[in-house]
Amino acid sequence: MKSPIIATAVQQPCHLDRQSNLDFSIEKIHQAAAAKADLVVLPELHLGPYFCQNEDYNHFALAQPIPGPATETLSAVAKKLGIVIVSTIFEERAPGLYHNTAVVFDKDGRIAGKYRKMHIPDDPGFYEKYYFTPGDLGFTPIETSIGKLGVQVCWDQWYPEGARLMALAGADILIYPTAIGWDPNDTPEEHQRQLNAWITVQRAHAVANGIPVISCNRIGFEQAPDQEAGVGINFWGNSFIAGPQGEILDNADESEVKVLTAALDPARSKRIRQIWPFLRDRRIEAFGDLTRRFID
């Protein structure tokens, strides 16, 4: 891993048309590059509104291949600015086969690798199983010129197993592009509990694995497309960059547009792993039941 790297995350609204959202993201990538950033992370499915609030086959028209128009544009931006970009795209792999896919562009503009979202939710307002096939690329870090990036997507962030497997495979940073928000019908107290849980579980991934975490969420209210889908989702922002002890290095509130920035030093991660040797003390011979759905 380059030492240190300047990592950024773009917290932005994504409620406009594809070109407007892409232009906004690119503007913020330029802003990150002007601040000498090595890495910029964009929110989950930042090219458009969150279309999974209902089940509508017309939304499949939003998908595109990889490589495709969006990746060609972002590839050119990465090369021009000499910056690593993490984007997520509604991937059309084949007719009838679609994924929620993170794409990593290296500083020379090439696609360094992909990660297809593994855990697919199916909840009111988040009907992702209708659109996305679970990923088949595993929990494999993506090798770049600045280090190995352990990229996962949104719902994956709740699972310690994915974070651990990325760390065991050599990830230098855990990265979670995200689209998560509140149901406006819930109480303010419930909103706060959900937000606290979301932040806590990801900071715990940093602590348990001794490496930084970048969590990048969208912001803004997005109206439900029909009454059956509910009121809509208020995306709660609160993006953050945490260090290897879970310490918050930079964060945003629930509504601000912001390019979060932090210097991440691999020497610090190494030192934290030496004083908290969780990898050394894992009782791997006793963990076989983790591959079972449930222990009856």
Q: What are phi and psi of 185, to 5 degrees?
A: -80, -15
Give catalytic residues, as residue numbers: 44, 117, 154
Residue-level pLDDT at 226: 79
pLDDT in tens for each of the 296 residues of the chain? 778 999 999 999 999 999 999 999 999 999 999 999 999 999 999 999 999 999 999 999 999 999 999 999 999 999 999 999 999 999 999 999 999 999 999 999 999 999 999 999 999 899 999 999 999 999 999 999 999 999 999 999 999 999 999 999 999 999 999 999 999 999 999 999 999 999 999 999 999 999 999 999 999 999 998 766 678 999 999 999 999 999 999 999 999 999 999 999 999 999 999 999 999 999 999 999 999 999 99
282 is a domain residue: no
For residue 256, the domain's CATH number is 3.60.110.10
What is the reported pLDDT for 227? 67
Closest CA to 199 of 211, 184, 217, 222: 217
Whether 294 is covered by a domain: the verdict is: no
Strands, DSSP E only, in 51-205?
84-94, 97-105, 111-116, 122-123, 126-127, 142-144, 147-151, 173-177, 181-182
Residues facing residue 268 across a β-bridge:
none
Tally of domains in the chain: 1
Residue 228 lies in a domain: yes
Question: In this structure, is residue 290 part of a structural domain?
Answer: no
Q: Output phi, psi for 292, to 5 deg.
A: -95, 150
In a domain, 85, yes or no: yes
Asked whether residue 280 is assigned to any structural domain, the reply reads no
Residue 229 is predicted with a pLDDT of: 64
CA dihedral 147, 150, 153, 154 (to 10 degrees): -110
291 is a domain residue: no
Angle between helices 69-81 and 18-34 (to 10 degrees): 20
Domain region containing 143? 5-275
Within-domain flag for 296: no
